[in-house]
Structure 1
């Protein structure tokens, strides 16, 4: 019983940190309707500003915190200026990816300004314990709890009694109605971004005190936990964000104490998955807005597509003129032949990897571009294909002719499992749920040691061998590159089959407005499942070729950053065009190789390029040759084709 109470208090302490991160996320999402992937990096930046104030500038902790508070608010306002104001006429997916790009740039900026190595964080309460009978409590845990409770009380008073708080609550409930009643929602949006920056500084201090060290890579893990906490409690509910953080922290602490520290994250994200399945709106969330086009409310019923502008109507990102598939396949074949037979080994390998990622990115062309479901977890599905290939090859010794269909079947099953928790969700919740599922997939790869060998990974994956060749591999220098492009051509042909007939038209109708699809008699569920299965198959095919090319797979090969990279590829190339996935995949794999001479600035350059593409080429690289135009209305399904197939 004593251990249980101590673990519970420890869980409340770390849960308080998660609650602070989740609160910043929920504030921005509730008012600005922006998924701020930079929130975790804001916590990291706040921690480093406090550390710099104490270690480098000689300030006391309280003064360093005030300086960090000002710096964090400035960072948050810059994020608002770039990701929301400057990109305000872009699609709703644009802030999601632009805040991700800004997160990368912020992390790299901290590495360049200070150090990529961890640094000790000042904690005046380190090593101090308080005793209450048989119980021992760390002073740091109690201070974190006290600070969090004091902040929550002050924050509640601000929201309840100040004009600013009332404006924030009105804008979060219904921005259009608030404007009609004379509420100025612009200052409310600026205020929530400023508050998210302040929460970043506070969260950074609490994280630093709890762990007593910080490093530039800590932003993403805490950002993921903050998102998970917000989703558990209710993504647009401020009390829900706090409750979700505390619940997540307690479950994580109990799992670490009674099961093992290796299972802390698995338990936390499994709790999130359970909430998504049983109560998708979260513990304190509401379904009230789902009947009015998701988070858009009554003022924007025309579409529920995530690829729409702030008024709710499709924008130019949906209007890329289709490039005929025969041109796409022909150009892919030409690049594959040149890479396989006319290039040196280094660049042949680079283009082979580009083909691998283009294959996986094609899955997002189907899922996001054709059906409108934004996934930030396809990197885990790529890992499913890679591990399936590795296990079948090393343990069973099967030839490529059996590995290929086996990976397709396993990928389809993974896509079905991936789709199940998503079917009841809509809007931004889909992206956040796939983010959680992708993290769960990574944690399974990391901890299922009897199957995956955990962090050791699986090596010794031989070259693809063919039964038709008597068990031999292809014997010419560019064989692996040729095979990678052959699988990419297979994936393009599968997309071509999906683009024909009523299936493609119904995908478009679901993408533009799921409510209208239901009105037309097109039941979205089976089509959404088909899109997820197809997307998973293509990601698994990419993972299979990744395993063959690298001859080694490990969980670190499929971090959540892989999912971000895949989504960036289809946006950069053209999200509704298969050619865009090919162009984006090859371009974004080749770009880091071209920047090897400036490796320390690579993420800054990468993030800048991504933001410029979002702003000036919203239809992707394909718009360089094909003019932008507004997307036509989605066609009605052909007679007799609506409903469940």
Structure 2
């Protein structure tokens, strides 16, 4: 019992930190309807500003916090200016990716200004514990709890009794109605971003005190936990964000104490998935948004499509130039031949890796571009294919002719498992659920040591050997590159099959608005499952070739950043165009190699390029020679009358 109580108090302490991060997420989402992926980086930046104030500028902790508070608010307002205001009426997916790009840039900026190495954070309560009978409590945990409770009390009073708080609550409930009643929603939006910055500074101090050290890479993990806490409690519910953070912290602490520290994160994200399956709106959330166009709320044209802007216009779709599949496959074949037989070994390998990622990105062309479901977890599915290939080749010694269909079957099963928790979700919740699934996949790879060898990975993966060649490999210099492009061509042909007939039409109806598709007689569930399975197969094929090319796989090869990279590729190339996936995949793999001489600025340049593409090329590279938007095509009657299950 003593251990249980101590673990419970420890869980409340770290849960308080998660609650602070979740509050910033819920505030911004509630008013601005933006998934702010930079919230975790704001916590990291706030922690570094406090550390700099104490360690470099000689300020006392309270003065350093006030300076960090001002700096964090400024950072948050810049995020609002760039990711929301400047992008204007971009698609719903645009702020998600632009805040992600800003998060990368903020992390790299901290590395350049200070250091990529961890630094000690000042904690005047370190090493102090209090005894209450047989119980021992760390002073740091108690201080974190006290500070969090005091902040929650002041924050609640601010929201309930101040003019600003009433404006924020009105804008969160219904911005259009609030404007009609004379509420100025613009200042309310600025206020929630400023508050999210303040929460970043407070969260940074609490994180630093709890762990007693900070580093520039800590932003993303805490951002993910904050998103998970907000989803558990209710995506737009402020009390839910607090409850979700505390519940998450307690479950983590109990799992670490009774199961093992390696399973803390798995328990946390499994809890998120359980809540999403049983109660998609969260513990304290509301189902009201589902009837108003998913997470978008009441707009001029309600829609569940993440590819549409606030007026319902699918900006990431309509500017895409329709490029015939035969041209896409012909150009891919030409690039593959040149890379395999006419280029030196270095650039041949670079283009081979581009083909690998293009294969995996094609899965998102099907899932996101054709059916409208945004996934930020496909990197884990790529890992499924890589580990399947590694295990089959190293333990069973099977030839390529058996590895290929085995990976397809395993990828299909993984896609089916991936789809199950998603079927009842819509809008932003789909993206965050796939993010949780991606994290669980990564953590399984990391901790299933008897199968995956954990952090050590699996090496010794030989070249693809063919039974038709008597168990020999292809014996010419560009053989691996040629095989990578051959698998890419196979994936393109699979997409071509999906683009034919009523299947493609029904995908389009679901993409534009699932609610309208259901009303029109198209039963969306089987099509969504098909899209997830196909996407998983293509990601697994990319992972298979990744394992062959690298001859080694490890969990670090499939971090959540891989999933973001795949999504960026299809957005940069053209989210509904197979040619866009090929162009985006090859371009974004080649770009870092071209910037190798400026490695320290690579993430800054990468983030800037991504934001510029979102702003000026919302339909991707495939819209460069397409000057005018096409009028939306009316759905074909065959799609509705078919109504196939």
Q: TM-score, normalised by structure 2?
A: 0.99
**Counterparts of 2:474 and 2:489, CA distance in 1:** 18
1:319 and 1:631 in contact (8 A); partners too:
no
- CA distance 1:613–1:118, shift in 2 (3 Å): same
1:229 and 1:248 in contact (8 A); partners too:
yes
**Counterparts of 1:441 and 1:561, CA distance in 2:** 13
**Counterparts of 1:308 and 1:77, CA distance in 2:** 25
**Counterparts of 1:623 and 1:149, CA distance in 2:** 51
**Counterparts of 2:639 and 2:466, CA distance in 1:** 46
**Counterparts of 2:187 and 2:33, CA distance in 1:** 15
Q: Secondary structure at the match of 2:641?
A: coil
2:299 and 2:310 in contact (8 A); partners too:
no
1:305 and 1:511 in contact (8 A); partners too:
yes
**Counterparts of 2:640 and 2:366, CA distance in 1:** 23
| Shift, 1:294, TM fit | 1.3
Structure 1 window deviating more from structure 2 (633-642 vs 75-84): it is 633-642
| CA offset digits 1:412-466 (Å, max 9, x no partner) | 1100100000000001111111111100100011011111111111111010011
2:521 and 2:640 in contact (8 A); partners too:
no
2:372 and 2:512 in contact (8 A); partners too:
yes
| Shift, 1:630, TM fit | 4.2
| CA offset digits 1:236-261 (Å, max 9, x no partner) | 11111100000000000011111111
**Counterparts of 1:352 and 1:637, CA distance in 2:** 42
2:129 and 2:136 in contact (8 A); partners too:
yes
1:314 and 1:631 in contact (8 A); partners too:
no
2:522 and 2:639 in contact (8 A); partners too:
no
| Shift, 1:280, TM fit | 1.1
| Shift, 1:316, TM fit | 5.0
Q: Secondary structure at the match of 2:305?
A: coil
Structure 1 window deviating more from structure 2 (318-327 vs 341-350): it is 318-327
| Shift, 1:376, TM fit | 0.4
1:379 and 1:559 in contact (8 A); partners too:
yes
Number of corresponding residues: 645
- CA distance 1:420–1:622, shift in 2 (3 Å): same
| Shift, 1:628, TM fit | 4.2
| CA offset digits 1:268-320 (Å, max 9, x no partner) | 11111111111111111111121121123333444221011122332254431
Q: Secondary structure at the match of 1:137?
A: strand
| Shift, 1:644, TM fit | 3.4
Q: Does 1:331 align with 2:331?
A: yes
2:296 and 2:427 in contact (8 A); partners too:
no
**Counterparts of 2:379 and 2:453, CA distance in 1:** 19
| CA offset digits 1:355-376 (Å, max 9, x no partner) | 0000000000001111101000
| CA offset digits 1:373-400 (Å, max 9, x no partner) | 1000000000000000001111111111
**Counterparts of 1:416 and 1:333, CA distance in 2:** 31
**Counterparts of 1:128 and 1:411, CA distance in 2:** 51
- CA distance 1:352–1:639, shift in 2 (3 Å): closer
| Shift, 1:89, TM fit | 2.1
1:315 and 1:630 in contact (8 A); partners too:
no
| Shift, 1:624, TM fit | 1.5
| Shift, 1:65, TM fit | 0.1
**Counterparts of 1:21 and 1:312, CA distance in 2:** 31
- Which residue number corresponds to residue 161 of structure 1? 161
| Shift, 1:640, TM fit | 7.2
| Shift, 1:88, TM fit | 1.4
| CA offset digits 1:200-248 (Å, max 9, x no partner) | 0000000000000000000000001001111111111111110000000
2:321 and 2:626 in contact (8 A); partners too:
yes
Q: Secondary structure at the match of 1:106?
A: helix
**Counterparts of 1:640 and 1:248, CA distance in 2:** 43
- Which residue number corresponds to residue 231 of structure 1? 231
Mapping for residues 453-468 of structure 1, pairs under 5 Å: 453-468=453-468
2:319 and 2:626 in contact (8 A); partners too:
no
| Shift, 1:18, TM fit | 0.3
| Shift, 1:634, TM fit | 4.8
2:301 and 2:311 in contact (8 A); partners too:
no
1:359 and 1:542 in contact (8 A); partners too:
yes
| CA offset digits 1:565-610 (Å, max 9, x no partner) | 0000000001010000000000000000000100000000000011
**Counterparts of 2:37 and 2:99, CA distance in 1:** 5
- CA distance 1:630–1:170, shift in 2 (3 Å): farther
**Counterparts of 1:357 and 1:428, CA distance in 2:** 25
**Counterparts of 2:634 and 2:532, CA distance in 1:** 21
**Counterparts of 1:25 and 1:162, CA distance in 2:** 21
- CA distance 1:130–1:631, shift in 2 (3 Å): farther
**Counterparts of 2:220 and 2:189, CA distance in 1:** 24
Structure 1 window deviating more from structure 2 (266-275 vs 290-299): it is 290-299
**Counterparts of 1:623 and 1:292, CA distance in 2:** 31
